[in-house]
Structure formats: C-alpha cells, structure tokens
Structure 1
Amino acid sequence: MATVIQDVLGYFPGEAHALAASSSLSAAAGYHGDDRVSALPDTLLRNILSRLPAKDAARTASLSSRWRHLWRSTPLVLRDADVPRAAVARVLASHPGPFRAVTLARCRFAYHERMLAQWPRLLASKGVDDLVLVNNASDPSADTLPLPADVFRCASLQRLFLGFWTLPDTAGLRRGADVFPLLRELSLFATTITDGDDLDYMLACSPALHTLALIFNQTPDRVHLRSKSLRCVLLWLSMVEEGVVVVDAPLLERLILFDCPPAGSAEEEGQVKVKIFCAPKLRVLGYLDPRIHQLQIGDKVIKPNARPSPSTMVPGVKVLALKVNLGVSKEVKMMTSFLGCFPNVERLHIESVVADDGPAGQQHPSKVWKEVCRVDCLKSHVNKVLLHQFRGHQGELDFIKFIGRSALQLQALLVVLTPQDYASPDKVNELMRKLKDHSGVPWACKYGFLLVVGPKLPSVWKWNFRKASDLAEDDPFAS
C-alpha cells in the first residue's frame, strides 16, 4: 500500500516543487568571491526559495535581515517528509502565508487530535493552493477518521488530495460555489464516502473542477456526475454498487473505469450500471467490462446483439477500451453491441480476460463471429486495434480474424503479450507461430500491419493515475 500511495502522490503537482535535500545555499569550500546570489532581485530570490525544501528555505533566514524577510514573504512549500515532525506545527504557525503547496502525509492523526484541530484551521486562515492530507494510519483497514470540517474553509485550494479519511456529513456545511471556487483537481484515495449526497456536495461546491479521481475508495452506492466544468473522471479500484451516471457533464472528455469491482456477486447481471445521459464531448471511455457493467445510453439499456440507433449512440468517443473474455459467446455478443454505441471510434483497446478455470472452461464462439451484427465503427473509422494480454487462445485468434476482415480502415493491429510470456523467448516464438498459422491475417496486408509487442510500463499504478488524468495524453490506455 505504501508503494501505491507514493506512486499516486508522485503525480500530484505539489510534490514536484521541492528539490533534493542535498541542495545547499552555502558557497563551495574555499570560495572567496563576490556574493552574487544576494545581488539578485527579490522576485527571483523568492522564486528560488519557493523551490527549496522548507527546512533549507527556512535556514536562509539566518543569513541576514533581508533573507529573513524573503523567506517570510515567499509562498511556502512544505512537505512533512522534509522537516522533523515536531517542526511542522512551528513552520505552519510562524510563516504568514500564503502556502503554495503543503503535503502532510506522515502523521497518524488518530494519536494527535490537537494537530488535527489546528493544522486545517491554519491552512484555511493563511491560504493554500495545493494540499495533500493523508492520515497515515498504522492499520489502513481500521475505521478512518472523519475529515476535519475546516478543510472546507480552504477557499484558495486549486488541488486537493485526501487519503484515508471519511468524508463528513455535509448536510450542515456551508454550501455554494464559494466553498471551493478555484479547485481544479480533487483526488480521494482510500476515502470513505457514505452518502452520494456528500459527493454531490463536493461537485456542486467546485464550479471550476477539472479532474475528479476516486481511487481505492469505499464509494457511495451511486456516483452521479453533474458538473459544468468536469473534463476528466477516474474511478480506480473503487467499489460502486449502483453505478456511475453521467447526468449532465457537457465538458466531460474522458471517463476511466479501471478495476472497479462489483459490490455483490460477479454472477449477477447488471452489477455496475454505467449510464450516459449528457456527455456531448466524451472522447475517451474505458474499460467497459461485459461481465460486470451494464451500459445504458439515455433511456436504453444495451443488450447483446442489439442493433444501434441514433438514441443509443455516443458519437464523440474516439478511444474505447473493453475487457472481454473472447472465448465466451455472450461476452463477444455484448462487446459488439458496445461497439455499436460508439460509431466514430478510431482506436480500440481490447484486454483479453481468461476465466479462472482456464481455456478448458471457455466456449470457443467461432461461429458467433460470423453471426454478430455489423459494426459501423470497424467498417468506417477504426484505424488501430490493440489486443492486450494476448495468450494465444482460440478466442483471441478468432478475434484477430474478425478484425482482419471487418476493420476496413485498419492501419495497425498490435498484439500485446503478457509480461510473463514476453520474458520468455521460447514463449514469444510459440505465440508468433500460432499467429502465423491460425490467425489468417498476414503480417503485412492491405489492412495494415500485425505487430507483436510487449508491455512497456511495469507499474500499472503509475500508468493509470498519471496518464488517465493527463488530458494532453491522447490515449491513456496505450502501453
């Protein structure tokens, strides 16, 4: 868990401002030249100080009265990892603010009730732009503390990362767009949200919110997305029993659902509902999983082999990712129905899923591929297909044949091996022989190129959070 937290925090921009602790303002030994640093203008010196670890920046106050003034007038960047724990309260109290970035991720607040009461109050009174507030509990499985209500008084916040808390009952809190008027990024990690109304409150109070990330959370039964500003929503390892409903999100560009487990039995149909009512700019969507997701467009629930209609289409989606067991007929039919809802998809990611009982327990639906409804996006728009977690099973080979004859605009078909298979040259050669002998698609043909590649990124944690949240990345699912 500690590694996961570190990877996620590594994304957070407030963490990137501090330089290595080895940085030093002292002159090199034996140097007797002019003090050219002190000759720099105050504006430039403040910029330098703001990029130093807090303990190094504070030390400059001992150089002269001018440096003391500079440190106190420089927006503070504080990480509790850079200073002794006992000094955090002193730094927060002595610096007049504003605080540019504050990371408090090492304290076990359950043992320090006084700090839990004081620190959020100080942050609110002196202004903070970027705040990381993690309750470093000794037992992450224990009940989490309620988030201090004073956090909701930090009106200057632009980015907020909360870890290991329980959102308080927001019914009695101040409401309105002036609660978080500048907040652009909100990330909740391992945070309990007991009521969907509390998440609704956070969205309603954040009129400039750009990115919402729910990571490893116990979320409410429902996640309703109503926001005129949201552009990116990420649900990662967060359990949502009822489902995700895009009620009204006119600027939403990407909706990422990664490893979101169903709350009940995986055998039940429609376990997690994904409903899209208003998302005219939605461009990136995935991973949809026919085993656990029930897709609804407007008032229509998408059924296996359903024929698309204008009312069941989301035309803006260009990048689509699906998780499918290609050896199960029902999932293949559901996959093609999903594809029919997104007529303008250009890049298609399929993650091949294998049943727990292995290939012997699968139903090879070779005939199904000939019976599925015509998929318009394959015929007219899809130019790149990536088949992830390829193991050489018959269902995967049938899918490659299907793509080869259906995707008329295809420029490249990438077969991405599992890390285990890619590490074995013998296994790679075996899979390439299978592709050559059984796929029916030549390595180079009029439909493009068939390429075998290996996974590039070892850490799915880093990939998902960083790439999914970066709108400059056209395709967050690419290896």
Structure 2
Amino acid sequence: MGAKRTRLKEEESGGLLQPVGPDLISRLPDEVLGDIISLLSTGEGARTQAISRRWRPLWRAAPLNLEGGDYPRRKSKRAAWVTKILSEHAGPGRCFNLYGFCLHERYAMVDGWLRSGSLTGLQEIDFSGADFSESRRPQPMPPSALRFAATLRFAWFSSCDFPGDGDMPPALDFPHLKKLLRNVTVSEDALHILLSGCSVLEILLLNYSVGFSRLRIRSPSLRSIGFIAPAAESSVAITFQELVIEDAPCLERLLPLNPEQVPATIRVMQAPKLQTVGLLSPGISRLEFGKAAFQEMKALSLTTSMRTVKILALESLGPNLDSVVDFLKCFPCVEKLYLTKTMKNERAYNPLDPIECLEVHLKKVVVNNYRGLRPEVDFAKSFVLNAKVLKGMDFAALTSCNDKWMASQHRRLQLDKRASPGARFLFERAYRGISIPSFHMVDPFQWVWQDKLNSVWHKELNREFD
C-alpha cells in the first residue's frame, strides 16, 4: 500500500466507492501490528499476508493463536489445516486448543504438533474440547505438552492420564501459570508435585479428576478453587475423598460445584480471606472451618467463626432451621444466602439470643424449589420477621404463582410485619433441578436464581410487595 493521497473513486466493476488514502496502519511498528494480528482468528490472521508486501512477514512472526472455533467444520480437513498452519508459522505460540481431535486416533500427530517450533513460548493450552470416547481408556498426555511449563499462563488438561510422579521432570515449574483446570487421571504425589511448582496459581478447577484420594493445598497465591468429585457409582478405584486447605492466605472462593458429587471430607485450616463458600451439602460427611466442625451439615463445634465470608450457598439442611442458624453463627457476616432446597422450621427465633448475621449483615436471601407449603412458609418467615437489614428475598417457586396463591403467601409469610421495612419479596416460577454454580461469575450462585426462571412467564408472574 502506498502512502500518497488520492481521492475516493468508483470501481467500474462493482459500482462501489472504495476509499483509497494514506495507509496509516501500515506505518505502525512491527510489534504493534503483530499484536493486532494476534487478536484476530487464525484464518483472518493468515489472510493479512495478502494486504501488501509490508504485511507478509508479520503473521509469521506474530504470536500464534490456534483456537478450536477457527478450525474447519469438516473433521477430515482439520488435521491438514493445523499441520499447514504450524508449518508456515515461525512462532512464537500464544494459544493452542485441541478442539475435536481424538488422541486415540492421532496421538503421534498431536505429539508432533506440540513439539513444533511454531508453539514455542506457548501461553495457553486447552485439551478440554478434545474428542475423547468414554468407552476407551484415556490416553497418556503427550509428554511434549509439559515442555511449555516455563511459559504457560492457562492450562486445561482433560480426559487423559497425567504422567506419574516417576515420570515427572525432577524440577517441573510453572512460574507464570495462573489458571489450571483439570479432568484427568493423576496420582496424589504427581498432583502435589505439579501444584508445588505453580508459584503464582490463582484459579484451580478439578472436574471429575481421579487417581488421588486426598488433596492438600498450600499456596500463597490461590484465590479460587472449584471441584466436582467423580460420581459415587464410578468404577475408578481411587477417587477424590478429602480436601485439606492447609494454608491459603489469598483464597477467596471455595466452591463444591455439584452438591451430589463432593469429597467426603473438607477441612479449611488457614484461609483468612475466604469470602464465598458453597454449595455445601449433606454429601460432605465431615466439614471443618478452623475448630468449627459439622457432621453431615449438623454442627459439632462452633468454637471458630469466619467473619470474612460474605456469600454462602447451602443445599438441603432439613429437617429444621437449626443447621442454617449454626452456619450463620460460623459465618456471622454473611450478606447473601442461597438455599437451593427449602426445609422445615421446628424452632422459633429467640430475640434474647440474637444472631449477628440476621441483626446486622444479611441483605439478600434466595430460596429455590419453593412450593409454599406450611413447613416452607414457617422456615422462610424466620428471615422475613428477623432479618433486620434485609433488602430482598427471592423465591424460585415450583407452582403457578397465580394471584390467589400470591395473596396467600403475602399473608402467611406476614410480609406486612417484615423486620426490614425496605425489604422486597419477589416470587417467580422456576424449573426444578440441581443448582450448580457458575465458577466464572463474581457471584457464582447468582445464576442459580436467574437461570432457572421461566423466561416466558417472567413478566406476567413477577410480583413485588411494597
């Protein structure tokens, strides 16, 4: 492209006005243009070579992004397309997503791709979209994937066997890795060796990983940990049974992501900045926070309180309010409380024995799977009549929410006698189902309410009492 000034002219072939003017973009330094190209899809980045001679070497030198969404739709063309891109690009690499490639069929090919010089310096690697067959035993993770340890910032290893501790490099360090997501078979020793080499790790997500029974966390940087244990009927001999947070000074979120698939024991020894906890469920046989201990969600000891926790999500705690009250004593500064199943209330709140959370802190309560039956009404009414700074209480109802039912709920919940005059109460019809939080949201339980709403009836059935 030339830099001389010209005017708009009409192309005879198409009758369209084509702007022809000074090419200011091409005047930018190579480093800036390379950053621009690296933000494009793989195909678009490669096509910039056709712009002019000035652009031809830029794509080959810009950081390479091989994203799964950029691959050809036809599987028969994907492998050839990836091979061609890697052969033409000089590197370095930024992102490589193995979307749609089955290791059983292309193990040697994938291993060869990962050894390519085009991926040297890779920052993100993603096995999560790989086309694995559940009927086959997972393939070992290609050893070449570990050669990026020094540069990786994001890694998702999925559906493969991680190298055992005997096969791990003696000094495997990930000095820049901030996000580690895993769905693999890995031994306990190998897992701890891996985590000990992640000095700046902030997010750890373990979904259905097997091969270890106990995970110990000692991390100066970890901020979020989420996990789903294998299903109870899993045929795997060694499954995730115990999580111990020994020392995590920056940990803010502890998220069991499926209330039906959790380790039997969770112990939190040192987590002074913990802010978000849940979904806690009866599937956790033993739960400890400092010296506070719960057995199947019933308090054994409440000698420790964690005042940093602001968001708490609880699965079914029946048959009475006692369990909820005990958790609010353990976490006295909770501001948002999510209850994914309603429960009975067999005791009245005693104002002579006030609960700090209800008196000073609790601002939002969400009750899911609400039918409006007497035990559920009595339970919910405890918050209506005693949460003094409550701003809102949402009910995801398993009923039609017609006018008659709504009027009955208004009366039975004694909304006219609410402890917090400014509190608003919202009823919406919602679908039944397990509520699994979103690991990536600021408030990971927010969608438990929002996503279950029947959007067709949302406007018609929305009710607020002033």
Aligned mate of 1:350, from 309, 332, 339: 339
Name the SS for the 1:386 alignment partner: strand
> 1:81·1:106 contact (CA, 8 Å) conserved in 2?
no
2:54 alignment counterpart: 66
1:253 alignment counterpart: 252
Determine the C-alpha separation between the residues in 2 that align with 1:184 and 1:149. 21
1:452, distance to aligned residue in structure 2 (A): 1.6
1:454, distance to aligned residue in structure 2 (A): 3.6
The aligned amino acid for 1:91 is I
1:404, distance to aligned residue in structure 2 (A): 2.5
Aligned mate of 2:161, from 163, 166, 185: 166
1:362-397 per-residue CA deviation (whole Å, 9 max, x = no partner) reads xx8443345898543223322222222322233321
Higher relative contact order by CA 8 Å / sep ≥ 6: 1 or 2? Answer: 1
> 1:302·1:338 contact (CA, 8 Å) conserved in 2?
no
Determine the C-alpha separation between the residues in 2 that align with 1:335 and 1:294. 16
Whether 2:49 is the aligned partner of 1:50: answer no
1:235 alignment counterpart: 227
Determine the C-alpha separation between the residues in 1 that align with 2:186 and 2:404. 50
The unaligned stretches of length 5 or more in structure 2 are 1-13, 72-76, 232-238, 448-466
Which range moves more in the overlay, 31-40 or 105-114? 31-40
The unaligned stretches of length 5 or more in structure 1 are 1-26, 264-270, 354-363, 468-472
Aligned mate of 2:420, from 427, 446, 468: 446
> 1:313·1:341 contact (CA, 8 Å) conserved in 2?
yes
1:15-50 per-residue CA deviation (whole Å, 9 max, x = no partner) reads xxxxxxxxxxxx996637247266331344323321
Distance 1:323 1:108, change over 3 A: same
Determine the C-alpha separation between the residues in 2 that align with 1:438 and 1:427. 14
Aligned mate of 2:346, from 360, 367, 383: 367
Written as runs of structure 1 = structure 2, the 5 A alignment for 1:14-29 is none
Written as runs of structure 1 = structure 2, the 5 A alignment for 1:293-372 is 293-303=285-295, 304=298, 306=300, 308-309=302-303, 312-326=304-318, 328-329=319-320, 332-352=321-341, 365-369=344-348
TM-score calculated relative to the size of structure 1:
0.77
Which range moves more in the overlay, 449-458 or 342-351? 449-458
Aligned mate of 2:26, from 36, 39, 42: 39
1:187-230 per-residue CA deviation (whole Å, 9 max, x = no partner) reads 12xx2334222322221111010111123444632232221110
Determine the C-alpha separation between the residues in 1 that align with 2:120 and 2:243. 37
1:259, distance to aligned residue in structure 2 (A): 0.9
> 1:417·1:452 contact (CA, 8 Å) conserved in 2?
no
1:181, distance to aligned residue in structure 2 (A): 0.6
1:466 alignment counterpart: 440
Whether 2:215 is the aligned partner of 1:215: answer no
> 1:102·1:130 contact (CA, 8 Å) conserved in 2?
yes
1:215-246 per-residue CA deviation (whole Å, 9 max, x = no partner) reads 34446322322211100111146556422211
Bigger Rg over Cα: 2
Written as runs of structure 1 = structure 2, the 5 A alignment for 1:64-463 is 64-83=52-71, 84-85=77-78, 86-122=80-116, 126-134=120-128, 136-137=130-131, 139-154=133-148, 155-176=150-171, 179-188=173-182, 191-218=183-210, 220-236=212-228, 238=230, 241-262=240-261, 272-303=264-295, 304=298, 306=300, 308-309=302-303, 312-326=304-318, 328-329=319-320, 332-352=321-341, 365-369=344-348, 375-417=355-397, 421=399, 426-429=400-403, 431-442=405-416, 446-454=420-428
1:9 alignment counterpart: none
Name the SS for the 2:184 alignment partner: coil
> 1:108·1:135 contact (CA, 8 Å) conserved in 2?
no
The aligned amino acid for 1:352 is K
Distance 1:151 1:39, change over 3 A: closer
1:277, distance to aligned residue in structure 2 (A): 0.2
Q: When the two structures are aligned, how many residues end up with a matched partner?
A: 416
Which range moves more in the overlay, 451-460 or 202-211? 451-460
Name the SS for the 1:113 alignment partner: helix
> 1:404·1:447 contact (CA, 8 Å) conserved in 2?
no
TM-score calculated relative to the size of structure 2:
0.79
Aligned Cα root-mean-square deviation (Å):
3.3
1:124, distance to aligned residue in structure 2 (A): 9.1
> 2:365·2:393 contact (CA, 8 Å) conserved in 1?
yes
2:458 alignment counterpart: none
Distance 1:318 1:445, change over 3 A: closer
Determine the C-alpha separation between the residues in 1 that align with 2:436 and 2:257. 13
Distance 1:446 1:60, change over 3 A: closer
Determine the C-alpha separation between the residues in 1 that align with 2:60 and 2:406. 64
Determine the C-alpha separation between the residues in 2 that align with 1:200 and 1:43. 39
Determine the C-alpha separation between the residues in 2 that align with 1:455 and 1:444. 23
Distance 1:334 1:367, change over 3 A: closer
Question: Percent identity over the alignment?
Answer: 25
Determine the C-alpha separation between the residues in 1 that align with 2:94 and 2:432. 32
Determine the C-alpha separation between the residues in 2 that align with 1:145 and 1:450. 54
1:430, distance to aligned residue in structure 2 (A): 5.1
Determine the C-alpha separation between the residues in 2 that align with 1:29 and 1:106. 41
Determine the C-alpha separation between the residues in 1 that align with 2:120 and 2:111. 15
1:18 alignment counterpart: none
The aligned amino acid for 1:383 is K
Which range moves more in the overlay, 94-103 or 53-62? 53-62
The aligned amino acid for 2:162 is L
Determine the C-alpha separation between the residues in 1 that align with 2:168 and 2:27. 47
Name the SS for the 1:466 alignment partner: coil
Distance 1:457 1:180, change over 3 A: farther
